[in-house]
Amino acid sequence: MNKSLLILGISYFGSTVAADKAENPSSDVYEAEPMIVEAQKKSFPKTDQATPSFEINKEAIEVINYTTVEDVFKYTPGLLIRKRYMGDPNGNLGMRGSNVFQTAHTSVYADGMPLHNPLQTSFNGAPRWSMVAPSEVDSAEVLYGPFSAQYGGASFGGVVNIDTRMPDKFEAHMEATGMFQDMHRAGRDELLTGYRTFLSAGDRFDKLSLWASYNRFENEGQPQTLNVAPLSSQAGGTAVTGGLSSFTPQGNSAVIYGDIGIAQTTTDLFKIKTAYDFTEDLKGRFTIAYEDRQGTVDDPNSLLRGANGNVLWGGGNSAGNSTNTNYRQFEQQFTVPGSAFNVSESQRQTLNYGLSLKGKVSDDWSIDTTASFYDAFKDRDIRSNLNPNHPNNRNKGQITDVNAWWAAYDLKLATDNFMGRDDLSFMGGYQLNHASLGIDVFNSDDYRVGSKDSQVSDSGGATQINSAFTQLEWRFIEDWSVMAGARFDHWQSLDGRVRNFSTNNIQNFSDRDASRVSPKASLEYSPDAWTFRYSFSKAYRFPIAQEMFASVSTLNNLNVSAPNLGPENGYFHNFMVQYDIPRGYVRANFFYDKINDEIASNVFTANNRTTNIFLPIDQTETIGVELTFQQNEIFDLPIDLMLNGTFMNKEIKKHNPIDPRISSFVNNEWDRIPRLLANATATYHIMPVWDAAVGVRYRSDSFQRLDNKDTQANVMGGTDESTFVDFKTTYHLPTYRDLKSNISAGIDNILDVDVFENHPYPQRTYFVKVAFDY
């Protein structure tokens, strides 16, 4: 589909019906406590009540050491975000039986505009979290599983909805945060620093409200890759010193010979929001955001020293290309490519805008509709072949340009008085999602000036889904209700292509399409303070562009396209029991999922290169229970407490690999899913103007590979059991001429634990923040 025509069409559709994210109503009112949203009058009926949910309010956010918006969900039950460092562009989201590399199983929306990446999955498929500043978040809600007809296959794991605020009167806000990490790992001992500043102002003029903001973020993150090589008993190799003894994730002897360098990240986010009240219950909004994100890794550290004490930078030939060199330490041999010490820089410039309308269009009917467009019009990664200090460096490198954009339209109509009956609620609607991906890789004769001298590959394609959905709830007797719904998805893959310029191998894949119907149902019994609800869904998730078309050859990795992938299909069950207590609740969710043809990134080694290909796993099974306890003023003390834990086991039940290089994984555990996730927060209101909060995050270890052979703890490439203890205290200064201010200080990872989730996580980090409100 032509990009400009699609933008024009969605803009017209959005301007006539308009769009905005639904704010779901809640039934009970209780005081604010971390992770509880205070009830308020809502302008759109609740249409996702069959889906287990967890809610977060502004007060909950303020007790967290946040630097980016994904920190808002730090203590959310059953949710895992692989945030490797502050400013990480690959903060992948995993929920329930979907791991952090299955980002196509989760959706993230901000004011109804999709932030999830409908094009890429695995490590580079993270939601575009940085398009929202944490200081603008008013509330958030997490939905678990595909139990509402309004969400498609990208809710296998769940959905995150973020609501941002608009002003009721003139307001101005300024916030500044400093971050300091005491990093001591693999030969480095440094203090890494960063800061975030946020400025916003807004006002309301009768029915019109305006709000603008600027968010600046800059940080140094610890090196994300420790350079590790397995040791071999083979003879030969140049004798070296300096390497550190270690292990591979499989438990074999290895040597740490350096790291790739400090991850330096800078983002600038500019945003304008305007809203108009057509009536008291019908509001329109327009949002536009521009982000400039830059990353640099330019100081790799080599621990290796030659006989005369000179620094060694791995293999390289006279043409300036990376080759392998054999070294020898600990009386064993290991191999180091020159590319292990290369330098890199990245830049992504993005424009995101959307138009919305939300509220009542008659006494009984409400509308919730959003049209939005996301365009990463510049997304470039530049890498050198060798380290600049390598004696054979010729400033050669590789440049990858990603052309990614997506457009979405969402229309929902709902009523709690369907056909004039107070016992019937109805919701129906339509969705359009179009996403386009192109990846071009070039060799560069001078990476410093970004020259693109010869093209290596060109791959990409697009997908489009048109969906219609409906559901009906019947409150057939007192305290009882039943819901039934269905979703129809028509999926298309378009313009798929792969071209390898070195062999001039060109593949243009035929366009494909498929249609599926997903039924939904739930039964609820809610006497007095109790709620019992069983929810069922069959859902389909169609493959995305990266899974089918991305065929990318880089310095150390090869991704192979899989254009004939079919849809995943799963059966999802959830049984919830909740008991409301004064100022809180106790809740248990029991869930069982069975997914057929689940698409996974299969990894194997071929020709000394790591090769990735997306292939289906015949059947997986997930069994779990999620427990949550929340209460304000527990035992009538000025303490708010939240505890949650998710126990889960996901296994491969059937697997007949279609690629002979891949083994059968039957009875293996699914990768990157811990069996236990647990969180706790306690907020002590020392004085009306002074709070202190402690948070604990625990996760058990997990496998990084489907073969389940990575069992070694505390090594690069593995995942460790971890317990992080965090602290924050905030003091509100006296108001001076309508100027409110507060100062806060905090520490993440107080115990300074040193753990890995494939990559190393941050060590003890300190925060200082000052904020002013007018």
pLDDT digit string, tens, across residues 470-523: 999 999 999 999 999 999 999 999 999 999 898 888 889 999 999 999 999 999
The letter for the amino acid at 679 is N
d(CA 357, CA 286): 9
Burial 95-129 (b: 16+ CB within 10 A, else e): bbbbbbbbbbbbbbbbbbbbbbbbbbbbbbbbbbb
Summary mean pLDDT of the chain = 92
pLDDT at 502: 83
**Whether 622 contacts 664, CB under 8 Å:** no
Q: Which two tokens stand for residue 92?
A: 């992948």
d(CA 197, CA 209): 24
pLDDT at 88: 95
pLDDT digit string, tens, across residues 214-271: 999 999 999 999 999 999 999 999 999 999 999 999 999 999 999 999 999 999 999 9
The letter for the amino acid at 422 is D
Burial 686-714 (b: 16+ CB within 10 A, else e): eeeeebbbbbbbbbbbbbbbbbbebebee
**Whether 615 contacts 632, CB under 8 Å:** no
**Whether 101 contacts 160, CB under 8 Å:** no
pLDDT at 601: 83
Weakest-pLDDT range from 12-21, 94-103, 461-470, 652-661 = 12-21
Cα dihedral sign, 94-100-105-110: positive
Backbone angles phi, psi at 630, to 5 degrees: -140, 140
Q: What is the DSSP letter of 702?
A: B
Q: Is the pLDDT of residue 761 over 70?
A: yes
Average pLDDT over residues 727-732: 98
Weakest-pLDDT range from 84-88, 528-532, 601-605 = 601-605
Q: Is the pLDDT of residue 647 over 90?
A: yes
Q: Percentage of the chain surpassing pLDDT 90?
A: 87
pLDDT at 606: 52
Average pLDDT over residues 351-375: 97
pLDDT at 451: 96
**Whether 301 contacts 188, CB under 8 Å:** yes
pLDDT at 661: 77
pLDDT range class, residue 40, cuts 50, 70, 90: very low
Residue carrying the six token digits 């140094």: 220
Q: Is the pLDDT of residue 158 over 80?
A: yes
**Whether 615 contacts 562, CB under 8 Å:** yes
- Cα radius of gyration rounded to whole Å, the chain: 26
d(CA 212, CA 170): 12
d(CA 435, CA 277): 32
d(CA 593, CA 294): 40
Q: Is the pLDDT of residue 1 over 70?
A: no
Average pLDDT over residues 443-449: 97
pLDDT range class, residue 554, cuts 50, 70, 90: low
d(CA 373, CA 7): 7
List the one residue out of 681, 680, 673, 682 whose CA is nearest residue 645: 680
pLDDT at 509: 93
Q: Is the pLDDT of residue 38 over 70?
A: no
Average pLDDT over residues 69-87: 96
Q: SS3 breakdown of the chain: % helix, strand, coil, rounded to 5?
A: 5, 60, 35
pLDDT range class, residue 17, cuts 50, 70, 90: very low
Backbone angles phi, psi at 142, to 5 degrees: -110, 125
Pairing state between β 584-606 and 609-631: antiparallel
Residue carrying the six token digits 């192109």: 438
pLDDT at 605: 61
| Other CB atoms within 10 Å distance of the CB of residue 45 | 24
pLDDT at 31: 37
Q: Is the pLDDT of residue 607 over 60?
A: no
pLDDT range class, residue 608, cuts 50, 70, 90: low
List the one residue out of 512, 511, 464, 467 whose CA is nearest residue 487: 467
Q: Percentage of the chain surpassing pLDDT 70?
A: 93
